[in-house]
Structure 1
């Protein structure tokens, strides 16, 4: 099935054509809904990336790391700025592949570079991030083609959680990547109308036994809610997953766990394993 899909899903190096194109945010939409209004910056120490962070670094609180791969493997670090700014406003250091407004393609090595940079900055005495990053809590995420990049680095032992958005393996020859998963994984998919839906569901059935896993489908298609202010419903739910997995937040945990979980009584179609 997936081999047959490969030919129509790969176009000029772009996986899942028609991938969500995070439209520029309307004026005033950025900053996020969290307690730490956020923005983005770049640094010569990590070229070809965009760093989203609270505008004022919180005192006494360390920022977990979130590495992000864009849909279409596109090297534009502000393509998904709404949702990435939202997560940063809740106290995360979010690092996206690509420079602001950049062009060209990314690869999975760039996700590893993001983690390496954050770990190094936390130890560099002259860095504004010195001692302010929680290097023991790392999420790697990606949308569509960025989800494939996420799979490719998911065996990194530093990773605390792996998250795929509107994504799944394209070819059964790639199934070995699933056996390298070691950290709790979440899938946030756009329902049956999402071109990645059958691929994600096939991956779900092949996950390693015992791996904690969550599958959430919201009927919004492959474009998701990324272009909505603060990333819309995807931004809200993704924030809860990050707060649970990287900060141990019990209120956020309740969105995913239990017979009366927050998403269970919503428009989300929920599947769970080993949670």
Structure 2
């Protein structure tokens, strides 16, 4: 039994934290990684916010992370702490919505982000030309943004998908689970998270053989997104990205092995086929 009405209210009303068409320079430096990062906008993807190392690292290709906001809110800086953190570890992170934007998003905007990154990697004159690893792409989203992530999860360009404080609202949507084809991770806020029952129901219905990780941290639906660098969610999400998109086996050990790195911590862990 899913928590349909209560969770729907959270999708529409709750968040997790806290222009013009011309391009803007990167914001102030941030993140704990080796590449201090900020965000910018671009006329070629006007309804999004792009997080990147402020100085693109020489000889390093940036894997891509596309992000859907909680409440499907078109504010690309609503999750600034955690997105800046991931960008500082050498990822190109593209969030739905402009900085401090308003209105609503949809899953098509995640696909637009992937299209843009691939185009920029080959476009003459682009500062990103040859700097993006277009073979390593993650789709992620919090709450309503997680539903958006499910909706594009069968995109053949994706390497992994991640849901934060999210799960399907109705059993009528279960066909989306059958379309999953890449490793998936869930980072949920424990039993007090309004999305908990939905996420656990999805977990039980995942396709046989699909590599999957479920981590519950008792922080509720608002997670740790408002903490510096995204708090514990930022740290663990960074490890998942470094493992899945960069092949970092030390990061992978957080999720694999007996015990895994997270298994003896405050996280409640479940695993399938990892």
Answer yes or no: same fold by TM over 0.5.
Answer: yes
- Number of equivalences: 266
Equivalent residue number for residue 7 of structure 1: 5
Cα distance per residue 1:51-83 (max 9 Å; x no partner): 000000001110000000000000000000000
SS at match of 2:136: strand
Q: In 1, are the aligned partners of 2:165 and 2:196 still within 8 Å (CA)?
A: yes
Question: For residues 14 and 102 of structure 2, what CA distance do their matches in structure 1 show?
Answer: 17
Equivalent residue number for residue 254 of structure 2: 255
Equivalent residue number for residue 31 of structure 2: 32
Equivalent residue number for residue 72 of structure 1: 71
Equivalent residue number for residue 24 of structure 2: none
Equivalent residue number for residue 81 of structure 1: 80
Equivalent residue number for residue 14 of structure 2: 18
Question: For residues 4 and 12 of structure 2, what CA distance do their matches in structure 1 show?
Answer: 9
Question: For residues 8 and 172 of structure 2, what CA distance do their matches in structure 1 show?
Answer: 15
Q: In 2, are the aligned partners of 1:65 and 1:92 still within 8 Å (CA)?
A: yes
TM-superposed deviation, 1:121: 0.0
Q: In 1, are the aligned partners of 2:187 and 2:215 still within 8 Å (CA)?
A: yes
Question: For residues 132 and 91 of structure 1, what CA distance do their matches in structure 2 show?
Answer: 11
Structure 1 vs Structure 2 CA RMSD: 1.3
Question: For residues 188 and 206 of structure 2, what CA distance do their matches in structure 1 show?
Answer: 16
Equivalent residue number for residue 47 of structure 1: 46
Matched ranges for 1:174-213 at <5 A: 174-213=173-212
Structure 2: gaps spanning 5 or more residues: 19-26
Normalized against structure 2, the TM-score is what?
0.95
Normalized against structure 1, the TM-score is what?
0.95
Q: In 2, are the aligned partners of 1:16 and 1:144 still within 8 Å (CA)?
A: no
4+ residue runs over 2 A deviation: 5-11, 16-19
